[in-house]
Amino acid sequence: MNSIQPALTTTKYWQKGDLLISLRHRSTIFLYRLTTNKILWLKIGPRLNQHEGSFIDSTKIGIYGNDLIRSSVVSKPDFLISGHNEVYFYDFASDKVTTPYTEFLTKSKVSTFSEGRYKVLDNGDLFVEETNFGRLLRGDKKHEIWSFVDRVSKGKISYLGWCRYISKKEFDEKYSKINFN
């Protein structure tokens, strides 16, 4: 198990408190209701060795697919099936999986082997943490808008983990009353 996200609202497809659980090494994600100890929905694939699942809106979940084939042979390294990571969206209403950010992720060669985070921003852009390579990116469905790598020195970068993109609106709603002095 590598990710658990609680539902913060009730919709036609889940109740507040249900858990979206990712099992990376099984390429499985499922919706679990703690109050009844029941799995409500389970999906294996199409992504491989995914990292993070999240609730997107009232009908959709998103999954960060590392899309990695692991090798148990020392001389044969792990590899990404399409050369990049993918963000998958599953819509419970239509029972369809979409990958609207493929062009951006391909062009930017987003390719973290483990870990990785994403967030769909209010305007539809995608924020990505490429954890294993210490890179943060923002892009629309087709293009990279910016990327950031914290370079410590020539040939060395900082490790960036559990990064968040916080919009001005989110900051004002959640953090503006905090006294940072």
pLDDT digits over 68-115, tens only?
766 665 555 555 667 889 999 999 999 999 999 999 999 999 988 778
CA distances from 151 to 67, 80, 146, 148 (A): 27, 25, 16, 9
pLDDT digits over 124-140, tens only?
999 999 988 889 999 99
Q: What is the pLDDT of residue 17?
A: 97
96-98/86-91 β-pairing? antiparallel
pLDDT digits over 26-71, tens only?
778 999 999 999 999 998 877 667 778 899 999 999 999 887 766 6
Considering the entire predicted model, what is its pTM?
Answer: 0.86
Q: What is the pLDDT of residue 70?
A: 65
pLDDT: which is higher, 98 or 150:
98
Residue 10 structure tokens: 């009730």
18-43 as b/e: b if 16+ CB within 10 A: bbbbbbbeebbbbbbeeeeeeeeeeb
| Cα distance between residue 94 and residue 160, in whole Å | 36
Q: What is the pLDDT of residue 3?
A: 85
Domain boundaries defined on the chain = 3-174
**How many helices and strands (H and E) does the chain possess?**
2, 16
Q: What is the pLDDT of residue 79?
A: 59
| Cα distance between residue 136 and residue 144, in whole Å | 11
The CA-to-CA distance between both ends of the chain, in Å, stands at 39
Residue 15 pLDDT grade (very low, low, confident, very high; cuts 50, 70, 90): very high
